[in-house]
Amino acid sequence: MNTRRFGSGALVIGLVIGVMLMTPVIAESGQQTGVAQNNAALIKQLEQREMQDRGNAMSFSDSNNSLEPMYSMKADKLQTLIDKLNRGETVSQADVNDAMDNSWIKQLGGY
């Protein structure tokens, strides 16, 4: 009987240790999934703004040609961030904010 009790206890201890060892892996996997989902949403947002800026560049090419290169530059910045995220690289929030900010173009008559 003592052998059985020891065997059951060892099994329980083994299971507890196994669960403890797996918990960080499961948590890390969940974090990676969350990061991938956040990156996918960010990429979509950046792609939408990049398309908008490319469209703005074309619309200003005749009426205000000084804005065309500015919008093109902003679109290029956005595309660089998109490429980095697609390669799995991290990008800073400051870089995202800078690429998304068109306030200085608005001051010059842009959208």
8-34 pLDDT, tens digit each:
555 556 555 555 454 454 444 444 444
Give CA angle at 84 (78, 88), nearest 5°.
140
Neighbours of 45 (CB within 10 A): 14
The b/e string for 85-100 (b: 16+ C-beta within 10 A; e otherwise) is beeeeebeeeebeebb
Cα–Cα nearest to 76, from 59, 89, 90, 95? 95
Q: Can you give the pTM of this predicted structure? A: 0.63
Which helix (H) or strand (E) segment holds residue 2: the answer is helix 2-63
49-67 pLDDT, tens digit each:
999 999 988 887 666 667 8
